[in-house]
Amino acid sequence: MAGKAAVIGAGFYGSTTALRLAEFDLFDEVVLTDIRDGWSEGLALDLNSSRPIIGFETQLTGKTTTPDGQGYEVIEGSDVVIITAGLPRKPGMSRMDLLEVNAKIVRGVAEKVAAFAPDAVVIVVSNPLDEMTRLAQIATGFPHARVMGQAGMLDTARFSFFVAEKLGIPVRDVTTLTLGSHGDTMVPIPSACSVRIDGAARPLAAALSSADIEALVKRTRAGGAEVLALLKTGSAYYAPSAAAAAMAKAVATDSGEVMPVCAWVTGQYGITDVYLGVEAKLGKSGVVEIVERSLTDDEVTQLHEAAEAVRAKSEDVVAM
């Protein structure tokens, strides 16, 4: 084991992410912080008590922090910092409804990360995701490659599950992909989707009708809202935390794994200077390389539309 990870915000999302990171047994220490007095310390004590049962050695450390920066010294030396701080959605709310309130929270957190963990790779999960990722990069002043957002991993996982459920096949036999924004302009990529049925791989379009695929695409876009409507209070955190933890693992292990993430694009697909959901190779320096694939004309058009929607809202965030 080696290295250190920090999770800022100890709600359901943050605490579950911290547990997943610890159970990887990759890090010497996983830090969990929160503004609620004693909350993260209590969670860390509980999580550490599970170590003999599960059999992992990673130390979990909880620390109460304040808006003026007290307590943030605990994240010093972190290789990866995951920002989950911010208010979750409530039923009927869109991710964009959280823009103003979470912008203030994320800006403050990002500034503390820059002060106490200046060499970290930052993974943002606060909503609205694409805009908060841009804000975190500005507030930290870090190179774009060291600040990314978690979205495509989660949306792609939802798409894969919905396809597997529809066809009645194992999730391991489904390959899907979503790009674009983490919201209404999400771009599921049916041309990159395939399934394995009776041992034979085939395009998704050969296994499902166009109407069925479109229904699954719509369900994927509304996946988070579907969870919210059922829960009534709170929001999704099991699948999102798995996605964020997988990204952190790829960074910590310098794996070079290609994942769909929110990254800064510099001309890929004809799009420049905006944070957007694309496929990227991840390593210890963050986004090592953005990987382009062949898309249909319609998919490229949708990706451009997503980029412009994110760009407009990002400008609003920067001005706050």
Residue positions annotated with a catalytic role: 182
Q: Cα angle vertex 313, ends 86, 107, to 5°?
A: 35
Tokens of 63: 């620390």
Task: Return d(Cα 244, Cα 123) in angstroms, integer.
Answer: 7
Tokens of 319: 């001005």
- C-alpha closest to that of 143 among 235, 51, 47, 266: 266
Measured over the CA atoms of residue 123, residue 127, residue 131 and residue 137, the dihedral's sign is negative
Pair 164, 170: CB distance under 8 Å: yes
Contact of 251 with 282, CB cutoff 8 Å = yes
Residue 93: burial class (beta carbons within 10 Å; 0-12, 13-18, 19+): middle
Please give the Cα distance from 155 to 117 (Å, whole number): 29
What is the rounded CA–CA span in Å between residue 155 and residue 19?
21
- 8 A C-beta contact, residue 66 and residue 41: no
Asked if residues 31 and 1 have their Cβ atoms less than 8 Å apart, the reply is no
Distance CA 261, CA 290 (A): 10
Q: What CA–CA distances, in Å, run from 286 to 22, 112, 202, 247?
A: 20, 19, 33, 9
User: CB of 43 within 8 A of CB of 15?
Assistant: yes
H-helix or E-strand spanning residue 197: strand 194-197
